[in-house]
Amino acid sequence: MAANEIILAKYGEIALKGLNKKTFEDILMKNLRRRLRKAGSFSVTKAQSTIYIEPREDGQDIDEALECVKKVFGIAAICRAKACEKNFEAIAELAKTYLADQLLCANTFKVTAKRADKAFPMKSPEICMELGAALLDEFPNLTVDVHDPEVTVTVEIRDTHAYIHGESIKGAGGLPVGSSGKALLLLSGGIDSPVAGYRMARRGVHISAIHYVSPPYTSERARLKVEALCQKMTAYCGNIAFFCVPFTEIQEEIKRNCPEEYFTIIMRRLMMRIAVNIATEDKCSALVTGESIGQVASQTMEGLTCTDAVCSIPVMRPLIALDKTEIVETSREIDTFDISTLPYEDCCTVFTPRHPKVRPHLEDIEKAEANFDFTPLIEKAVAETEMKVFKMGEEVIL
């Protein structure tokens, strides 16, 4: 790998932003710089809706940098490029050598040119024609196809250098994390909630996570599994504040004081009340769950109505209309699936009613809860909540 290989990243939706585009760009640049620290020493600069990621010194690992950039939300396309002097001979020579592998295997190609530096003596169509001819000479296997080429050779004439690149790859899409505020994700050890967090982060939401544990019904290993999931999510979500709530006493009081058929829904309402408290403390403006309509008894319209009724902030459910197979697909893509399917218990499965009420009525639930004042226990659980921060780039502990 030659020292002058760089990465070009193009933004997606940010390009459509109007007056506040700069705010989004600044967050994206900050996120990129932070992510790339792990890969080595790279400079990150932008010009004309393109971000330039260049090694500051020799010996930097471009492959690793590319892996980091692929996970940064807000970027639509990424490509590796090489820089050369701004003269046609240097450009033609570089295109022939740098893209030889791609061009040798293809039948059709085209050249596109972008001339940001208008002082460059050749205009874009002329660059395309001349470079096309030079490549046809060099690679007799090729013919030009301007409509549907197998390889597109792109030349960009910028301020200091010319850049050559071939095909680009898809970026992570979405908006930069932090550009859409902060939300608190209810993170279980299951498949769904990490995917829900990923989805929200992809829309620019900075994620904090809350997890409820019920020792001795749930084990230390079950908690570690969730922490490992949280750590995994940092690759996409950035640093995550993780709140671990002791939930045993509340669950025992539900069991002691409420009708069995309502256990789950009442438990979920109490989870929500605690989450709203922590969200307020952590300056999160919404809750996020991995619920999907119809998946289990508590995820019916009526069930969701009952849980929403105790929330004074919005509850976002990015998976609401997804099938399990679609959720599983994403969890494999983001590499949480293997951790999620480890067989540890969750507090939701402690005291599960044999016949949960599938279509609960809010008045009945409120009546069933009225036998016991949960407020002091909620305050106690919030006070005893432990917080730690998971940071990008650290090892997954499991």
Q: Which residues bind ligand ATP (CB under 6 A)?
A: 186-188, 190-193, 210-212, 289-291, 295-296, 298, 346-348
What is the C-alpha to C-alpha distance for residues 1 and 43, in angstroms, rounded to an integer? Answer: 18
| Binding-site partner at residue 300 among ligand ATP, Mg ion, none, CB < 5 to 8 Å by type | none
What is the C-alpha to C-alpha distance for residues 164 and 156, in angstroms, rounded to an integer? Answer: 7
* Cβ–Cβ under 8 Å, residues 191 and 337: yes
Minimum CB distance to ligand ATP smaller for 79 or for 195? 195
Residues 172-211 that bind Mg ion (CB under 5 A): 188, 190
Least distance in Å: CB of 289 to ligand ATP?
A: 4
Q: Does residue 330 interact with Mg ion by CB under 5 A?
A: no
Q: How many residues bind Mg ion (CB under 5 A)?
A: 2
| Binding-site partner at residue 191 among ligand ATP, Mg ion, none, CB < 5 to 8 Å by type | ligand ATP
Minimum CB distance to ligand ATP smaller for 187 or for 205? 187
What is the C-alpha to C-alpha distance for residues 241 and 123, in angstroms, rounded to an integer? Answer: 52
Q: Please return the burial class of 111, using the count of CB atoms within 10 Å of its CB with bins 0-12, 13-18 and 19+.
A: buried
Which structure tokens are listed for 59?
A: 């010996």
Nearest to 291 by CA among 384, 206, 187, 394: 187
Least distance in Å: CB of 291 to ligand ATP?
A: 5
Least distance in Å: CB of 57 to Mg ion?
A: 47
Minimum CB distance to ligand ATP smaller for 6 or for 254? 254
Nearest to 353 by CA among 217, 255, 283, 279: 255
Minimum CB distance to ligand ATP smaller for 9 or for 327? 327
What is the C-alpha to C-alpha distance for residues 47 and 214, in angstroms, rounded to an integer? Answer: 52
- CB closest to Mg ion, residue no: 190
What is the C-alpha to C-alpha distance for residues 351 and 272, in angstroms, rounded to an integer? Answer: 18
Least distance in Å: CB of 188 to Mg ion?
A: 4
Minimum CB distance to Mg ion smaller for 188 or for 208? 188
- Residue given tokens 């549907």 in the structure block: 148
Minimum CB distance to Mg ion smaller for 36 or for 244? 244
* 200 SS3 class: helix
Least distance in Å: CB of 283 to ligand ATP?
A: 19
Least distance in Å: CB of 296 to ligand ATP?
A: 5
What is the C-alpha to C-alpha distance for residues 221 and 215, in angstroms, rounded to an integer? Answer: 11
| Binding-site partner at residue 284 among Mg ion, ligand ATP, none, CB < 5 to 8 Å by type | none
Residues that bind Mg ion (CB under 5 A): 188, 190
